[in-house]
Amino acid sequence: MNVPIYLDHHATTPVDPRVLEAMLPYFTREFGNPASRTHRFGWEAERAVEKARRHVADLIGAQPQEIVFTSGATESNNLALKGTAWASRGRGNHIVTLPTEHKAVLDTCHRLESEGFRVTHLPVGQDGLLDLDRLHAALTPETILVSVMAAHNEIGVLQPIAEIGRLCRERCVRFHTDAAQAAGKIPIDVQAASLDLLSLSGHKIYGPKGVGALYVRDASPPLALTPLADGGGHERGFRSGTLNVPGIVGLGAACEICSQEMREESVRLAALRNRLRDSILMKLGEVSVNGSLERRLPHNLHLTLAGVDAQALLMSLSELALSTGSACTSARPEPSYVLKALGLPDDQADASLRIGLGRFNTEEEIDYAAERIVEAVTNLRALSAAPFR
């Protein structure tokens, strides 16, 4: 067993060796620009891009022409939200989302508010789930978009996207989901979920960083979506710029592997997650799991360990790669806005730990991690004045 042990797979994942192998020729031998239509180098690059497009589409139940390649989920979220808002000014100005969304959605909504759009942040329950009745009541004739994350990047909660999508379709409201944490981990069918827009990212599914995709439903009439940048009209005019062929090939290969192995991998990771959870709960008191236990990613565990400062805990666990929350907010000293939205007071939010298991973790690593977490928490609690069982 090698240390440190990586247990932060919500932040990023290692590139699968099979993905790297698929990418390598496109850095050197097959270096063409897929927009070059007059020679073999361009044709080969275009073929590789279209093959990857099919694999991405297959993973989420879409058609290849509905996949727009981007630099990652952040860009996809920006294109989905800003593109919809800017294209819909004449029809409405209201957007509905959740206070627990990723900053790529929340900050984009904040920017749109500064441009005159109105944003409603619907509260979630203590389990992190959206109340569908609240969503129904929030929709107005001015509502142009609902954006709800499929699987949460901190607490692993799975929102009822099929029910949300059905409600949005009935009200003729566009529905977007940030599926960066869900794609490749749980089954997603964009048709069954009545999705109009879906964001995903390569580096969350054992693909390379710097590449992602936006699903844009092929509707009649076409979905109006104003691009973020102009120049060249690539990707159906939604995303101009020379395509990142090696990255796109890697994303396609990662999606193909997920399509083939997701079911078996999810069962294995859920068993490891439960093994880790049970080991910790059996040996430590005053520990609670944040977020719904029934509707949850199979590889996610988010714990509040009362009486322990999570930052101090991480410092005492240098041989484990863990986090307290989103990598995008890890440099901020304040408690997680996600946990506060669930109703946790600051002291409990500051005592919380996010654990994300992954494809290459083993039982030996999980048992060692449980042992070290229990040991570190016990030691930190012993230094505290408050008694713990």
**Active site members:** 328
Rounded to whole angstroms, what are the CA distances from 213 to 16, 82, 87, 332?
A: 19, 16, 20, 28
CB 353 within 8 A of CB 313: yes
- Please tell me the distance from the alpha carbon of residue 176 to that of residue 58, in angstroms, as a whole number: 18
DSSP letter for 328, please. G
Residue 56 and residue 73: Cα distance in Å, rounded?
A: 14
Neighbours of 352 (CB within 10 A): 25
Q: Which amino acid is at 146?
A: V
- Alpha-carbon distance 191 to 154, whole Å? 27
**Cα–Cα nearest to 248, from 69, 43, 58:** 69
Type of residue at 13? T
- Of 93, 138, 99, whose CA–CA distance to 114 is shortest? 93
Orientation angle between helical segments 363-382 and 245-283, nearest 10 degrees: 50
Q: How far apart are CA 279 and CA 271, in angstroms?
A: 12
Look at strands 174-178 and 197-201 and give their pairing: parallel
- The secondary structure of the chain in percent helix, strand, coil, rounded to multiples of 5, reads 40, 15, 45
Tokens 């509260």 correspond to: 123
Q: Which residues pair with 320 in a beta bridge?
A: 5
List, in order, residues 6 or more apart from 16 with CB less than 8 Å away: 206, 207, 253, 254, 257, 359
Q: Which residues of 171-196 are buried (b: 16+ CB within 10 A; e: fewer)?
A: eebbbbbbbbbbbbbbebebeebbbb
